[in-house]
Amino acid sequence: MKIIHTADLHLDSKMETYLTKEKAKERKLEVRFAFQRLVEYASENNVQVIIISGDMFDTKNIISSTKNFVLNLIGKYSNIDFLVLKGNHDEYEFEKSECPPNLKFFANEFVYYNYGNVSISGLNLNKYYLPNNFDLLSFDANRINILCLHGQASNFFSENIDYCIPLNALKNKNIDYLALGHIHSFESGNVDNRTIFAYSGILEPRGFDECGQKGFIELDINDHISCRFVPFAKRCFEHIKVDISNASSANDIQQLIFSCMQNVSSENLIKVELVGEFDLNLDKDLDYLEKVLNERFYFAKVIDNSTIKVDYERLKLDVSLKGEFVNTVLNSNDLTNEDKTKIITYGIKALTKGEI
């Protein structure tokens, strides 16, 4: 038996943080289409069940075309069961009358779906549930058992963590696989000698806080469960740091950037962070760099966290406004050394080029 574990689809995300209105609309449709591609993959690979461990939608105000798309797609693939868990973003609820028979839901108490020797259960969590709710979980030790939850895994329960999933409360519960949602990157580990837990991560990323490969987990079940992460996203977000300490011109910086990005797909969204120390006379021309990158990649932005290479001892002796400024900052008793460095860097830049 094959099962797909996915989560955090976040259909109808606005996608407007970085993108133009046109590209935001395109990415919104790509997020929707990722779900279609997943279902088509499942059909082509004889998958019987797709588990969605929470956050199918991003908000409760989903547009009717998205709702109809989901219901029509699920109904079309009637040979696959879709088991849907409620996540912290899932405020929209389908009417029972509009759901196809293969669209099934978990609840605020344990519901069990059985497929041969496999049992799948789940529990819709909220901020105020108690970990002793897991005492009601009842899995047969002789079956292959999967539990679906949405929240933040922790070794022990903490009231300071919203939707906390205390792994210690799930030990020795006859769980073979814990299908988690809420964390947007693939993660896995062990709860006890029998139980594997895994976050599938988000299917299609939406921002630079979701960098790296994204996809889903495919489970292959015989006498035991084997699982593998399947990279699946159309585009990735990538944050690349480029040290410009040895650059002497804007062209040097451009070459350094491209040397760091030889294996980066032009389909991806890129954030280039300039770091290191640069000479005061270096012209970085960030607007031009960003324009060049945006011609090569789907989206690109450049942020500058480099600092000016300052010879403080020489400037202290400099009979000028810069020298007086450096001495004033260095002699201050109210600033940390880190603050002094930042202030001198910005001040020298402003005095020299009239900009920060």
pLDDT tens-digit profile of 43-75? 999 999 999 999 999 887 788 899 999 999 999
CA angle at residue 248 from 316 to 320, to 5 degrees? 20
As given in the structure block, the two tokens for residue 174 are 């006859």
Model confidence at 356, pLDDT cuts 50, 70, 90, reads low
Q: What pLDDT sits at residue 236?
A: 95
DSSP-derived 3-state class of residue 231: strand
How far apart are the C-alpha atoms of 101 and 83, rounded to whole Å? 11
Q: What pLDDT sits at residue 16?
A: 67
Q: What pLDDT sits at residue 128?
A: 63
Q: What pLDDT sits at residue 282?
A: 81
Amino acid at 348: I
How far apart are the C-alpha atoms of 292 and 171, rounded to whole Å? 53
Assigned CATH topology for domain 2-231: Purple Acid Phosphatase; chain A, domain 2 (3.60.21)
Give the side-chain half-sphere CA count within 13 A for 109.
1
Model confidence at 285, pLDDT cuts 50, 70, 90, reads confident
Instruction: Enumerate helices (H) and strands (E) in the chain, giving the number of each.
Output: 7, 19
Model confidence at 137, pLDDT cuts 50, 70, 90, reads very high
Amino acid at 239: H
Which H or E run contains 62? none
How far apart are the C-alpha atoms of 111 and 179, rounded to whole Å? 15
What is the arithmetic mean of pLDDT over 344-354?
72
CA angle at residue 125 from 119 to 131, to 5 degrees? 85
What does residue 350 show for φ and ψ, rounded to 5 degrees? -70, -40
Model confidence at 110, pLDDT cuts 50, 70, 90, reads very high
Contact by Cβ (8 Å): 57, 10: yes
Contact by Cβ (8 Å): 151, 125: yes
Contact by Cβ (8 Å): 332, 300: no
Q: Is the pLDDT of residue 246 over 70?
A: yes
Q: 82: exposed, middle or buried (C-beta count within 10 Å: 0-12, 13-18, 19+)? A: buried
Percent of the chain at pLDDT > 90 equals: 64
pLDDT in tens, 189-220: 999 999 999 999 999 999 999 999 999 999 99
Q: Is the pLDDT of residue 308 over 80?
A: no
Could you tell me whether strands 118-122 and 111-115 are parallel, antiparallel, or unpaired per DSSP bridges?
Answer: antiparallel
What is the arithmetic mean of pLDDT over 90-104?
87
Please spell the DSSP secondary structure of 106-155, one letter per residue: --SS-EEEEETTEEEEE----TT--GGGGGG----TTSEEEEEEESEEES
- Own/partner contacts of 63-69, CB < 8 Å, gap of 24 or more, are 63/12, 66/11, 66/12, 66/32, 67/92, 67/94, 69/32, 69/36
What does residue 351 show for φ and ψ, rounded to 5 degrees? -70, -30
Model confidence at 274, pLDDT cuts 50, 70, 90, reads very high
pLDDT averaged over the chain?
90
Beta carbons within 10 angstroms of residue 288's beta carbon: 14
As given in the structure block, the two tokens for residue 75 are 């109904």
Q: What are the residue ranges of CATH 3.60.21.10 in the chain?
A: 2-231
